[in-house]
Amino acid sequence: MITVLFGGSRPEGNTAQLTKLALEGLEYDWIDLTEYQFNPVRDLRHENEDITTYQDDYKGIIDKVLESDVVIFASPVYWYSVSALLKAFIDHWSETLIDPNYSDFKEKMANIDFRLVLVGGDCPKVKAKPCITQMKYTLGFIGAELNGYIIGTAERPGDISKDVFALERAKEWKESLGNATKL
CA–CA–CA angle 72, 129, 112 (5° rounding) = 25
Please tell me what DSSP assigns to residue 112. S
pTM: 0.93
Domain limits, the chain: 2-181
Distance from C-alpha of 101 to C-alpha of 99, rounded to nearest angstrom = 5
pLDDT tens-digit series, residues 10-46: 989 999 999 999 999 999 999 999 999 999 988 887 8
For the domain 2-181, what is the CATH code? 3.40.50.360
Class of residue 114 by CB neighbours under 10 A (exposed 0-12, middle 13-18, buried 19+)? buried
Q: What is the mean pLDDT of the chain?
A: 93
Cα Rg, the chain, nearest whole Å: 16
Number of C-beta neighbours around residue 94 at 10 A: 14
- Tell me the H-state helices in 23-163: 58-66, 84-91, 93-96, 105-110, 124-127, 129-141
Which residues, listed in sequence order, are joined to residue 113 by a DSSP beta bridge?
A: 70
**Residue 182: predicted pLDDT:** 54
- pLDDT tens digit string along 55-110? 999 999 999 999 999 999 999 999 889 999 999 999 999 999 999 999 999 999 99
